[in-house]
């Protein structure tokens, strides 16, 4: 009898609960160019690799800041992210790279095309109410790969950025953090 009461009460609470609403992403507020710097934050060993490396490398990074610029654009009502990184293993060429994405569905968009010297094999864009992130897979000449993640959390003055790079062997992730200011 008590279980029935709990079940009826739970059903009543579900009926009285407000409907879920999609999170609003204010894409137009993000349009513009952002400039700033990032510096090495830390390397994270990925210990779930089997078998573990016999002697994992520790990396402490240089700590020297390097320039990071990105732009959020809308091309044919679809998102485009331009990114230029002046240091670290994920450095782009002088003109940067632009990734054009398809329509955003449930907060995710897939790569439609790219304008870059080193073309990503695949990429995706994730958007949240105050944040966007890209994940891009690149291939080295020897066939190995590396993955770069770029995340921008928007602030009133610009955006805080995090860069992640996973190495080809998948044994560690290196991170850089920084801040940017909105220029235009």
Is 175 a domain residue? Answer: yes
pLDDT digits (tens, 9 = 90+) for 72-98: 999 999 999 999 999 877 788 889 999
Residue 117 pLDDT class (50, 70, 90 cuts) = confident
- Averaged over 93-114, what is the pLDDT? 94
Is 12 a domain residue? Answer: no
Percent of the chain with pLDDT over 90: 50
- Averaged over 153-159, what is the pLDDT? 96
Enter the pTM of the model: 0.79
Domain containing 144: what range?
24-182
Give me the chain's average pLDDT, please.
82
Q: How far apart are CA 175 and CA 60, in angstroms?
A: 11
CATH number assigned to the domain comprising residue 71: 2.40.128
Is 14 a domain residue? Answer: no
Is 41 a domain residue? Answer: yes
Is 2 a domain residue? Answer: no
Is 178:36 a contact under the CB 8 Å cutoff? yes
Is 10 a domain residue? Answer: no
Q: What is the pLDDT of residue 12?
A: 46
Q: Tell which wins on pLDDT, 96 or 55.
A: 96
Give the number of domains in the chain. Answer: 1
Is 34 a domain residue? Answer: yes
Is 29 a domain residue? Answer: yes
Q: What is the pLDDT of residue 16?
A: 45
């Amino acid at each position: 009898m008590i279980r029935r009461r709990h079940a009826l009460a739970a059903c009543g609470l579900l009926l009285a609960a407000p409907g879920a609403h999609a999170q609003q992403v204010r894409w137009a507020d993000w349009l513009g160019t952002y400039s700033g710097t990032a510096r090495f934050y830390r390397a994270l060993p990925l210990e779930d690799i089997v078998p573990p490396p016999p002697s994992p490398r520790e990396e402490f990074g240089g700590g020297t800041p390097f320039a990071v610029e990105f732009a959020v654009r809308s091309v044919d009502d679809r998102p485009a992210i331009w990114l230029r990184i002046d240091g670290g293993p994920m450095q782009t060429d002088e003109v940067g790279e632009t990734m054009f994405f398809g329509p955003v569905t449930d907060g995710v968009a897939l790569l439609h095309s790219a304008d870059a010297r080193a073309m990503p094999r695949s990429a995706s864009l994730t958007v949240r109410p105050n944040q966007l992130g890209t994940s891009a897979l690149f291939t080295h000449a020897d066939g190995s790969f590396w993955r770069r993640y770029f995340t921008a959390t928007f602030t009133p003055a610009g955006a805080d950025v995090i860069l992640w790079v996973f190495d080809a062997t998948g044994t560690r992730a290196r991170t850089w953090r920084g801040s940017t200011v909105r220029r235009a």
